[in-house]
Amino acid sequence: MDRRAIFFLGSGAVSAALIPATESGLRWVPTWLAVVFVVLAVASYLDWRSNSR
């Protein structure tokens, strides 16, 4: 299993969990960060899968 993808997913989950705690004017920061980490997790997983074949 690709540990880096899991690490990025975890980071994305932490970012998403912080959205409600962030003041309204800055909520776009953890929101975008969560999206970016999910994209990085998917990219990392695809990279790992293509390398392991």
Partner 1 sequence: MTDLALYAVIAIALAFDFTNGFHDAANSIATVVATRVLTPRLAVVWAASFNFIAFLVFKTAVASTIAKGVVDQDVLSIGVVFAGLIGAIAWNLVTYYLGLPSSSSHALVGGIVGAAVVKAGFSSVVGDGLSKIAVFIVLSPLIGLALAFIFMIVVLQIAGRIHNVDKLNRVFRRLQLVSAGAYSLGHGGNDAQKTMGVILALLIATHKVGPNADVPLWVVLAANAAIALGTLSGGWRVVHTLGSRITKLQPSGGVAAETAAALTLFFVSAQGIPVSTTHTITGSIVGVGSIQRLSAVRWGVAGRVVWAWILTIPGAGLVAAATYAVVHVV
Structure token digits, residue 17: 């969990």
Query: Rounded to an integer, what distance in angstroms lies between the CA atom of residue 9 and that of residue 34?
Result: 8
Residue 52 DSSP symbol: H
Tell me: does residue 16 bind partner 1 (CB under 8 A): no
Tell me: does residue 11 bind partner 1 (CB under 8 A): yes
For partner 1, which residue of 9, 13, 26, 31 counts as binding (CB under 8 A)? Answer: 26
Q: Please identify which residue in the block is written with the tokens 């994305």.
A: 12
| Positions in the binding site for partner 1 (CB under 8 A) | 3-4, 7, 11, 14-15, 18, 21-23, 26, 29-30, 33, 36-37, 40
